[in-house]
Structure 1
Amino acid sequence: MAEGIAFDLVKGVLGKLGSALWHEIGLLRSFKDDADDLRSNFSTIQAVLLDAEERSSAGKESHALRDWLRKLKDAAYDADDLLDEIRTQATLRQQQYPEVQNQNQPAEKVRGFLSRANPMHLKFKRKMAHRMKELREKIGKIAKQRHDFGLAEAGPGRQAEFKHPETFSVVDKKKVVGRDGDKEKIVKLLLENNSDHDVSVISIVGLGGLGKTTLAQLAFDDGRVTGQQRFDLRVWVCVSTDFHMKTIAKPVISAAEENCALDNSDDVASCLVRIFSQKRFLVVLDDVWNEDQEKWEKLKVLFKDGKKGSKILVTTRSKKVATIMKTVEPHHVKVLSDDDCWTLFKRRAFDEGEENDYLSLLEIGKQIARKCGGVPLAANALGSMMRFKSRTEDAWSAIRDSEIWRLEEEGTILPSLKLSYIQMPSALKQCFAYCSIFPKDYAINKDDLIRQWIALGFISLHETWTSMEDIGNEFFNDLVWMSFLQDVEENYRKVTTCRMHDLVHDLAQSVAREEVAVIVGEESTWIPEGCRYVSIYSHFTPQVSITVMRRLRALQFMGSGSHIMAFYSEAKCLRLLDLQGSEISMLPSSIGKLKLLRYLDLSETRIQELPESITSLCNLQTLNLSGCCEIRTLPKSLGRLANLRILDLRDCQSLTIPDSISNLQNLYALNLSSCEKVISLAPICHLKNLHYLNLSGLNSLVTLPESIGNLQNLRILNVSECYHLLSLPSSSSDLQHLEKLDISGCKKLCELPKMIQKLTKLKELLNSDCLELKGMPRGIGKLVSLRELSLFVIGKQDCVEHCASISELKHLKLVGKLEIKGLENVTSPVDTKAANLIEKNLRYLKLQWNILSAEEGMDTVLPAEEIDTVLENLRPHQKLENLKIEGYAGGKFPSWMMNRIGPCLPNLVQIELMNMPRCSSLPSLGQLPFLKKLIIRNMPAITNLGIDKFPALTSLELSSMPMLREWVTVLTVDDKKGRRERVSIFPCLTFLRLYECPQLRPEPCLPPSVESLAIYRTSKENLSLILECATVDSVTPLVDGDAISLQLPKKGLRHVMIRECQQLICLPESLRGLTSLQWLTIWDCKDLERIEDWLGELTELQSFEISGCSSLRYLPAHKMTALKKLSIFECPLLFNAAGQFVDTSVDHIEFVRVNLRKYKYKKQVSSSP
């Protein structure tokens, strides 16, 4: 593409000229001299290219140098196209004469590919010779012109450098906008003293220009940080790219008023250790770019003797830096609101109050401020520029309607973003610039993006990598680290999509220049002459010359597809054709003429078949047919696609697979998810280079063939949701490179391979929802690489010879989620101690005993007195966030859950306690400062909830607790002045679900913050009492002496659900007092006969749903004048004998839904769910 990219392009051409295949072709007399000369000139140019591109990136190039770079890139593209055409012709000839495929054949036969007396080939040979000669002359002229610019020669290893501006610890607080919350969080982290480490590292991470340095300055200068001798030493260090000890030493020595020469590294180190020793210090390392962990480890030693509470505050654009420096959870700086951006913009554009003299410009100014994308640096830069613009609507509108990247020389955000861009290696620059082919705010699929990079030649395989996909994944992660890709979305912990911030997209467009064109909607459809990559998100035919068409390398088309066939017919240099989601239903045979095509995406189209000519695309690497529901067959000669690496056929439900698929020996990834017509997997088991195989959702699959063990390079095997899969073959243990095995949702799978211990590289074993799994195979504890294990099943005594004990978890360094089932089968508490859960960095843990019923107790092999010890020994890691315990038959909770749960599990966010017939008291859950969700089910011996305060709890479910009576919701406490006040135990609770708690009554009221209440299976009396508790306006005032009472904030119930409350003939009168009610749901109250007219008094009620009320005869719909949505299901008495809805007085309701049937009223919108 453009800036900073020519180097890698030339490097790629030189690589092809030097490849083994080219040497064979180069031996042809007509090409040899030209090829050698071409290689020599490109090598000469490469030596000065880095200097030329550094000038270009810094904006220092002349028009002549820019023109020289453009000509060079055009010539390099032409050379690349020429070499690929020649290589392709050689490949096709090799397929035509398979007898010379043997590498042991004499060189004369290889050279004979392009010298056989075939008229068509002779024509091709003359054409290539002519193009090679023209190219040689063009490159020769370009090589000579390099002397005109005084370019410095440098080796290929030279990296571009840029002097970063120095930062300071001083900031005008009055000019900072929208960062109060961020500042408070950083200050809180600086003041905390509860870390396990004496010295804590805190990082502020975000895109360039978001105000990371400013935020650090605000925290650094805050009075709470500077006062009360909080820190003995405070130092601000501007690091930038110079991440060395001496960089840090100079400001530290100055702040400490020490004398130390900086000449000797050992003396400097000793001086720094002495300065930091036994001091509580705060060191800010601003603008850190270093991603070399070894450098950080050496530097970290200097800080190790600081006192507890010492902090290192880092600002960086790279999440990778935060990870390397082992910080606490990084603070990610978010973009500002449009209003905050306007405030910054206005301050720069006008003198104080001056904007009132230019009212006609204010709306335009606000629109310009919105273009800043929430980046304060952009708002300040644009505002500063507008200060010197004419105060006319035309002048301001011209700026509003321009792309920000066009304002680069005016001092906008792009120079700041370029600091990150300049640091990129040239190959990464190509990958980044290509991302401008997607429209702004487009959800970019990660896997598709990496495959496109590969297809376009941006990624080359190196000796240290096993696959180009691995390199692409690393490139993608680098862009995410640098915040050039963001809004990352994940599915099952794996990144699936991302987006580019608008300003980053502008940067990508500016560096790609005219080489990338994006046509969206009805925008201009003109494509510039220098364009090589085009995306069209329009139904309009773009205007493009034949010259441009023949140069195109990538074409993405998301339009109707009616004219696309003619559009690409001349694009003979296309490497990438993406027709995803277009309306095409057939692919013409002319597709076979696109000989250089490497990537073809036909996903989500109405394609019914592929032409046989597609198998002549000998360079094709990726073929995506996912979601093509109408396609039934693939070409029988599919196996001719010798270079195919990715074949995606997921959701092709009618597709059958030809046996020739076994010939695709370079296939890297095959996705057959939900291909229900796949019968035999035998041909697939011949694909010995396969790394990824997805067979999920194949419901007809009962077992895998034994030959699956032939796939020795397989790294990922997904057979999830194969509901009839009974077993895995023993040969699956031979997959020695397997890193991930996903069998989740295989509900009938009974056992895992007995020799699973042979899978020594296995990192992920995902086996959740394997309901019939009898146990884990012995030896699973030997999988030392295993990091994720969804489910561990402890087998029964009768299969103990074949099943692993829970003690085999001992040496597994598991992270993430773990569910342990079958704890009733534990034969010794010693085994649970050996499991060593406390050392496993889990975020989610479920411990399950298979309870028969609460009344019958447990079917367990241990005596009752040892059951408590089992749970005591299963104490989890301190960082656990979600804990579920089900079926525990012990009489008491372990010590780590009772009075010590706060320090033992301080990070818990959610707890579920279920089916515990003997526990009569609950742990002290109020000690958990971050607990947000609590579920307690079927604990019949619990009579009260205690009086712990839950400061963060937002959701509470109490279910099947027949003896639960006491629930104190408000406490009387003394304030700091000795006065008494009432405080809510549940200040944040918004969702409350009560299920079969017939004796429960909140005292003295429902928590005032509750907004949603669901009541299941209770008596009408209890229902009425609970609703009365919800109508209490405030806590009764105290009147003893000088005591005071503080009214509690009361939001009022907004949503009430009443379900399965028998003997409820009419709604309780207490419901009438819920004046804030907006949604009312009543399900399965069989005895309910009528809804009272007073329901119409609830003027906030917007939605009313009633279902399964078989006795209901009367519904006062006409009274509910504020109602917007009414849903009625299975209430037969509201209908006449003909099955028609009796009450027609609902025409004032906007949305009516009745028994899923369509009833049309005046304002009705829908009658379906």
Structure 2
Amino acid sequence: MAEGIAFDLVKGVLGKLGSTLWDEIGLLRSFKNDADDLRSNFSAIQAVLLDAEERSSAGKESHALRDWLRKLKDAAYDADDLLDEIRTQAALRQQQYPEVLNQHQPAGKVREFLSRANPMHLKFKRKMAHRMKELREKIGKIAKQRHDFGLAEAGPLRQAEFKRPETFSIVDEKTIVGRDDDKEKIVKLLLETSSDHDVSIIPIVGLGGLGKTTLAQLAFNDGQVTGQQRFDLRAWVCVSTDFDMKMIAKPVISAAGENCALDNSDAVASCLVSIFSQKRFLLVLDDVWNEDQERWEKLKVLFKDGKQGSKILVTTRSEKVAEIMKTVEPHRVKGLSDDDCWTLFKRRAFKEGEENDYPSLVEIGKQIVKKCGGLPLAANALGSMMRFKSRTEDAWSAIRDSEIWRLEKEETILPSLKLSYIQMPSALKQCFAYCSIFPKDYEIDKDDLIRQWIALGFISSHETWTSMEDIGNEYLNDLLWMSFLQDVWEYYRKGTTCRMHDLVHDLAQSVAREEVAVIGAEESTRIPESCRYVSIYSRFTPQLVSSTVMQRLRALQFRESGSPTMNFYSEAKWLRLLDLHDSKISMLPSSISKLKLLRYLNLSENSIQELPESITSLCNLQTLNLSGCQKIRTLPKFLGRLTNLRNLDLSDCSSLTIPDSISNLQNLYALNLSSCENVISLEPICHLKNLHYLNLSDLMFMETLPKSIESLQNLRTLNLSNCISLLSLPSSLCDLKNLHDLNLSRLKSLVTLPESIGSLQNLRILNVSECSSLESLPLSSSDLQHLEKLDIRGCKKLCELPKMIQKLTKLRVLLNNECSELKGMPRGISKLVSLQELSVFVVGKQDRVEHCASISELEHLKLVGELEIKGLENVTSPVDAKAANLIEKNLRSLKLKWNVLSAEEGMDSTVLPAEEIETVLENLQPHQKLEELEIEGYGGGKFPSWMMNRIGSCLPNLVKIKLENMPGCSSLPPLGQLPFLKALTIRNMPAVTNLGVDKFPALMRLNLSSMPVLREWVTVLTVDDEEGRRERVPIFPCLTQLYLKECPKLRPEPCLPPSVLHMGISRTSSENLSLIFERAMPLGDGDGDGDGDGDAAVSPQPPPNKGLRSLQIGGCQQLTCLPESLRSLTSLQRLIISDCEDLERIEDWFGELSDLRSLIIQGCSSLRYLPAHKMTALKRLHIDGYPLLFDADGRKYPYKEQASSSSHVEESSPKEEEEKKIG
């Protein structure tokens, strides 16, 4: 690679020249003088190389200096190739004559034998001597030319000191600054239903680096958008430069859970039309560049049959793209304020509170921030860079005053990012520039990226105690911290992949220059001859890569591009990395053995049935990936010859038999056998002494682990997840003293863990989630003093946690949802000083559960995220609740639960009187930042002050609230004072009679259930405006989802909220059902309540009702026919009727619902008549179990035959619809 890379390249060559390996094999002895000259000249060049590269990075190099750097890199590559070839030849000779090594002969004897064993070896030595001489002369000339440029020599240590924080805070990583208003606007647009377009297209437009993608992610994952089947389908597509149907199809088909061959355009189009048809979908097209309107029009046809309310969210830098695609006005993202940029910068540049010690640096930092142009990406990158600058004014001023800011701006490279790259530690630059080999927005597997870095020589381990994988992981985390890579998040957790922001990708391409090439589907450009790293994402043709280029390549990736030609293997002799993932190949030619220097070979997701035996001669091979090759049955007999193999991935090779020779792979670092169903014996694997990572998940037939597993003393990660036949674990498992991560999840038959598990003193992560038979954790588990995460979710029989849990002082995460038998928390849990995430705190009954912790033990725990407190009926004193100190905990979600049955059972013992229960809740006041609150089973008669008159100031950020099972409360809190409340559920509050008259400005979802005396529900207020005129104001202006269950007396006054689009009503009388829908539309002129004078003075009318789109009616007894008031629902598109056992007929007027597309009827056993002949717009019909259903002429109704003979009706499955039925 080019800019800023030569230093590390030269450093690598010097490292190889200085290796003691050469003395051991004797191959450099014959040209010792040449080797010494190379060392000397490279060392002299290295001394001035940093100055040369700094000039190049700053754009101050002359043409001659640039040419000198290019020649130097070419020579360094040649030297690296030569040294690797010599070492490979030696390795092959040793493989050919292993008996020489096995006898532990002295080095002199080995050299003597190798020199005379074969005339071919002598010929090779003469050839190498000639090349070494040529190389020495070339390097000597380059070394002399260094004096022509006045380059300054650097001291021996120029490496920047990089101090990335040891851990990343999940909360801090997810905190977005200055985008709350933007998010609210986007979410509102997503939840609106347009009357003009079934599918609305919302562009988000702004400069690169402003956070358009982040904003789209926030909206895409917002609870209102994801909850309650708001959208039938949600899919995210990273578009970037490729804008075609197949590219969009893959993630959409995956999200829909469908299967479709992607090699046929017509089949893909048909599949997409089927997926989108009659579904309300949300599709994000991220980073769109296409400005060809014709291409967009062709693609848009695929979405046209989506339900009304479907949305396509588009992010783009181009106003033209937004104009072409929009159906609503684009949302234009503006830059952050300097204050917001400073917040981001400060978070990265200083430890928490450290800025207070450096007021002068704060002032300089704020001046640097002004150069960010409001771009969060730039603020994060600059802040990360300053983290490892010395805390002196000179160092910080040098960044502020750098000439980079004054350079003429390149088209796409931000000066702030360029400056951060220049300051990047030298070891990272090659790794960063190589990432430009992936297309923009490509999702990069982190572990695989590290393996590629290692294969290409970017990482070397000079310290025997640190593996190359560990060093690579540090490099990766450094780039993540500096914002040069970005984590891809899965369910609010960092996933196993990352990607590069497109502006950072532009920088990577800029510094890599012509040494890295990415050939996309629409590109036919020939690859430049200076290129050494190539990825091809189009159909491969020999013309793409010339013979000259092939002979220089070090990395070649084929992605879904077909297999290369056979002669390719003989030409690419310097190749270190070959990626043929999903290249549709069924055979690997034996000529693969010609790639002698190959270290990385990815053959995953192909139809290969076997590997050629010649592959075992690839003595440098470090990574072999065969994952997803389901047809492969055997591995080469002499697989053990691959003595340098470090990573072997055989996951999902379901037909494969593992040979015993695998035990010879003594350098194997990682082995993945997940879903290898034919694995019979693990004994050969237990001989792999260097193994650090072993994945045995989903081995369904594995019943035992061998005792010999104890021999894997270097093992750090062991995954046994979903080995459902595994009944017990051997005690020898606990002899794996270096184990860091143990995954035992979903071992359904596992009753207990080995008693000696506490001897795993280095264990960091223990996952026993969904071990549904697990009854207890061994006492010794309290001895896991380095444990950071314990996952026991779904252990339904687990009764207690270890009594001495307080010894786990490094525990940060305890996940214990769905542990229904857990009776309490152990005493001493307050001593878990590192605990940040606790799913559930169970308050145990003091006289029944031994060693049970009081709720007061929450006091000093610094919890964040989500917390559920169960068993509050067991709190013995309101003082303990106060001591829990919830007000100081930065929680996002809080659930407070009293078990009503437990309280009733224990009325004679410890349950508090109602007044003290009220004080308990008063004392459980949460932090102001709380977003979600649930209270269940509360036995008091009134709500606490922080929920009543102070609710607006105490809970200003509340978005969701649920109140359930509160028999003593007769009135509700003033919830309308919560400006951001979007979801409200009230269930089983039998004493509440009204909802009040507060306005709910943001409420979008309302669920009322089991409210037997609830009557008054005012939906419109009549108020006086500033001029004294009376006007109607809707109380629920944003309400779109309404669900009513067992509310027999509820009456909306004067009408249902006009904005409601989706409604469910169940277990109410036919009379009440009729009355509710008589009020489905707002009152119009002349439709008043009889007071003509009063109504005439009210102006203007409330906003017109757009009409219900979907309706569910369930469990309504004595309902013999649908109320005629439903005729007014002219916009209804979907109707579900379930468990209305008295329903006999659906009247002919039902055919007037001209927009109705879907009708589902279940459990209505008395139904006799359905006017199907009048429902001409119907697309989907499902009727379950009606032997006596008749048609209009009184004949037995053959609905199945009618459905199959009518082109407009599709029959859906009962199972599909059962999930959507309301109870």
1:534 aligns with 2:556: yes
The correspondence of residues 1040-1051 of structure 1 with structure 2, limited to 5 A, is 1044-1048=1099-1103, 1050-1051=1105-1106
CA contact (8 A) 2:537 2:558 kept: yes
- The whole-number CA distance in structure 1 between the counterparts of 2:87 and 2:562 is 32
Q: Secondary structure at the match of 1:141?
A: helix
Q: Secondary structure at the match of 1:679?
A: coil
Alignment-derived partner of residue 617 in structure 1 = 642
Compared with structure 1, are the counterparts of its residues 291 and 685 closer, same or farther at alpha carbon in structure 2 (3 Å cutoff)?
same
- The whole-number CA distance in structure 2 between the counterparts of 1:1046 and 1:440 is 52
Compared with structure 1, are the counterparts of its residues 20 and 1039 closer, same or farther at alpha carbon in structure 2 (3 Å cutoff)?
farther
**TM-superposed deviation, 1:1017:** 2.4
Q: Secondary structure at the match of 1:134?
A: helix
Which one of 717, 741, 753 corresponds to residue 742 of structure 2?
A: 717
CA contact (8 A) 2:595 2:618 kept: yes
- The whole-number CA distance in structure 1 between the counterparts of 2:361 and 2:121 is 70
Q: Which amino acid aligns with 2:885?
A: N
CA contact (8 A) 2:488 2:494 kept: no
CA contact (8 A) 2:1122 2:1146 kept: yes
1:602 aligns with 2:626: yes
Compared with structure 1, are the counterparts of its residues 786 and 719 closer, same or farther at alpha carbon in structure 2 (3 Å cutoff)?
farther
Q: Secondary structure at the match of 2:939?
A: coil
The correspondence of residues 1035-1114 of structure 1 with structure 2, limited to 5 A, is 1039=1094, 1044-1048=1099-1103, 1050-1114=1105-1169
Q: Out of 80-89 and 559-568, give the one that drifted further.
A: 80-89
Compared with structure 1, are the counterparts of its residues 883 and 64 closer, same or farther at alpha carbon in structure 2 (3 Å cutoff)?
same
The correspondence of residues 182-197 of structure 1 with structure 2, limited to 5 A, is none
- The whole-number CA distance in structure 2 between the counterparts of 1:479 and 1:829 is 49
- The whole-number CA distance in structure 1 between the counterparts of 2:1046 and 2:126 is 87
- The whole-number CA distance in structure 2 between the counterparts of 1:978 and 1:154 is 84
Compared with structure 1, are the counterparts of its residues 72 and 1134 closer, same or farther at alpha carbon in structure 2 (3 Å cutoff)?
farther
Q: Secondary structure at the match of 1:1025?
A: helix
**TM-superposed deviation, 1:1009:** 1.7
- The whole-number CA distance in structure 2 between the counterparts of 1:1082 and 1:132 is 87
- The whole-number CA distance in structure 1 between the counterparts of 2:502 and 2:941 is 59
- The whole-number CA distance in structure 2 between the counterparts of 1:831 and 1:466 is 49
Q: Secondary structure at the match of 2:690?
A: coil
**TM-superposed deviation, 1:81:** 2.3
Q: Which amino acid aligns with 1:533?
A: A
Alignment-derived partner of residue 792 in structure 1 = 841
**TM-superposed deviation, 1:435:** 2.6
Q: Secondary structure at the match of 1:612?
A: coil
Q: Secondary structure at the match of 2:947?
A: coil
Which one of 135, 139, 163 corresponds to residue 138 of structure 1?
A: 135
Alignment-derived partner of residue 411 in structure 2 = 412
Alignment-derived partner of residue 291 in structure 2 = none
- The whole-number CA distance in structure 2 between the counterparts of 1:793 and 1:97 is 67
1:862 aligns with 2:911: yes
Compared with structure 1, are the counterparts of its residues 109 and 57 closer, same or farther at alpha carbon in structure 2 (3 Å cutoff)?
same
Q: Which runs of 5+ in 2 are unaligned?
A: 162-177, 186-203, 213-336, 385-406, 517-530, 806-828, 1217-1223
Which one of 949, 955, 958 corresponds to residue 999 of structure 2?
A: 949
Q: Secondary structure at the match of 1:1024?
A: helix
CA contact (8 A) 1:1125 1:1149 kept: no
Alignment-derived partner of residue 737 in structure 1 = 762
- The whole-number CA distance in structure 1 between the counterparts of 2:118 and 2:861 is 62
- The whole-number CA distance in structure 2 between the counterparts of 1:666 and 1:520 is 36
The correspondence of residues 4-403 of structure 1 with structure 2, limited to 5 A, is 4-19=4-19, 21=21, 24-25=24-25, 29-30=29-30, 32-54=32-54, 56-57=56-57, 60=61, 61-62=63-64, 64-65=67-68, 67-79=70-82, 81-82=84-85, 85=88, 88=91, 109=106, 112=109, 115-116=112-113, 127=124, 130-131=127-128, 134-135=131-132, 137-148=134-145, 150-151=148-149, 152-155=151-154, 157-158=157-158, 209-210=208-209, 292-293=349-350, 297-298=354-355, 302=359
Compared with structure 1, are the counterparts of its residues 784 and 982 closer, same or farther at alpha carbon in structure 2 (3 Å cutoff)?
same
Q: Secondary structure at the match of 1:1077?
A: coil
Compared with structure 1, are the counterparts of its residues 793 and 429 closer, same or farther at alpha carbon in structure 2 (3 Å cutoff)?
same
Q: How many residues align?
A: 966
Give CA deviations for 1:1123-1169 in whole Å, capped at 9, x if unaligned: 333334444445999996455267554451255799xxxxxxxxxxx
Compared with structure 1, are the counterparts of its residues 540 and 707 closer, same or farther at alpha carbon in structure 2 (3 Å cutoff)?
closer
Compared with structure 1, are the counterparts of its residues 1140 and 1048 closer, same or farther at alpha carbon in structure 2 (3 Å cutoff)?
closer
Give CA deviations for 1:223-253 in whole Å, capped at 9, x if unaligned: xxxxxxxxxxxxxxxxxxxxxxxxxxxxxxx
Alignment-derived partner of residue 348 in structure 1 = none
What do you get for the CA RMSD once the two structures are aligned?
4.5
Compared with structure 1, are the counterparts of its residues 808 and 669 closer, same or farther at alpha carbon in structure 2 (3 Å cutoff)?
farther
Which one of 866, 880, 885 corresponds to residue 836 of structure 1?
A: 885
Compared with structure 1, are the counterparts of its residues 116 and 931 closer, same or farther at alpha carbon in structure 2 (3 Å cutoff)?
farther
Alignment-derived partner of residue 721 in structure 2 = 696
Q: Which amino acid aligns with 1:1095?
A: F
**TM-superposed deviation, 1:1028:** 2.6
- The whole-number CA distance in structure 2 between the counterparts of 1:1127 and 1:785 is 54
Q: Secondary structure at the match of 1:1002?
A: strand
Alignment-derived partner of residue 1121 in structure 1 = 1176
Give CA deviations for 1:39-90 in whole Å, capped at 9, x if unaligned: 3333223223334444555564457336404422421440452365278569
**TM-superposed deviation, 1:976:** 4.6
- The whole-number CA distance in structure 1 between the counterparts of 2:1026 and 2:789 is 53
The correspondence of residues 529-678 of structure 1 with structure 2, limited to 5 A, is 529=550, 530-538=552-560, 540-543=562-565, 545-546=568-569, 548-557=571-580, 558-566=582-590, 568-606=592-630, 607-631=632-656, 633-678=657-702
**TM-superposed deviation, 1:23:** 5.8
Q: Out of 418-427 and 809-818, give the one that drifted further.
A: 418-427
Alignment-derived partner of residue 456 in structure 1 = 456
CA contact (8 A) 1:730 1:753 kept: yes
CA contact (8 A) 1:41 1:140 kept: no
Q: Out of 566-575 and 292-301, give the one that drifted further.
A: 292-301
The correspondence of residues 1004-1015 of structure 1 with structure 2, limited to 5 A, is 1004-1015=1054-1065
**TM-superposed deviation, 1:584:** 1.7
Alignment-derived partner of residue 1152 in structure 1 = 1210
CA contact (8 A) 2:1081 2:1105 kept: no
- The whole-number CA distance in structure 2 between the counterparts of 1:679 and 1:97 is 42
Q: Secondary structure at the match of 2:67?
A: helix
Which one of 704, 707, 725 corresponds to residue 680 of structure 1?
A: 704
Alignment-derived partner of residue 775 in structure 2 = 750
- The whole-number CA distance in structure 1 between the counterparts of 2:726 and 2:875 is 34
Give CA deviations for 1:767-824 in whole Å, capped at 9, x if unaligned: 3333223233333323333333333344454663354444444443333233333444
CA contact (8 A) 2:1116 2:1140 kept: yes
Which one of 1060, 1070, 1074 corresponds to residue 1024 of structure 1?
A: 1074
CA contact (8 A) 1:286 1:315 kept: no
CA contact (8 A) 1:17 1:35 kept: yes
CA contact (8 A) 2:872 2:898 kept: yes
Q: Which amino acid aligns with 1:1051?
A: K
CA contact (8 A) 1:929 1:951 kept: yes
- The whole-number CA distance in structure 2 between the counterparts of 1:98 and 1:872 is 78
Alignment-derived partner of residue 519 in structure 1 = 536
Which one of 1022, 1028, 1049 corresponds to residue 999 of structure 1?
A: 1049
Q: Which runs of 5+ in 1 are unaligned?
A: 102-107, 162-180, 189-204, 214-279, 327-407, 1159-1169
Q: Out of 594-603 and 465-474, give the one that drifted further.
A: 465-474
Compared with structure 1, are the counterparts of its residues 183 and 649 closer, same or farther at alpha carbon in structure 2 (3 Å cutoff)?
closer
- The whole-number CA distance in structure 2 between the counterparts of 1:1110 and 1:695 is 49
- The whole-number CA distance in structure 2 between the counterparts of 1:207 and 1:426 is 33
How many percent identity over aligned positions? Answer: 53
CA contact (8 A) 2:563 2:583 kept: no
- The whole-number CA distance in structure 2 between the counterparts of 1:128 and 1:727 is 62
Compared with structure 1, are the counterparts of its residues 1043 and 718 closer, same or farther at alpha carbon in structure 2 (3 Å cutoff)?
same
Alignment-derived partner of residue 435 in structure 1 = 435
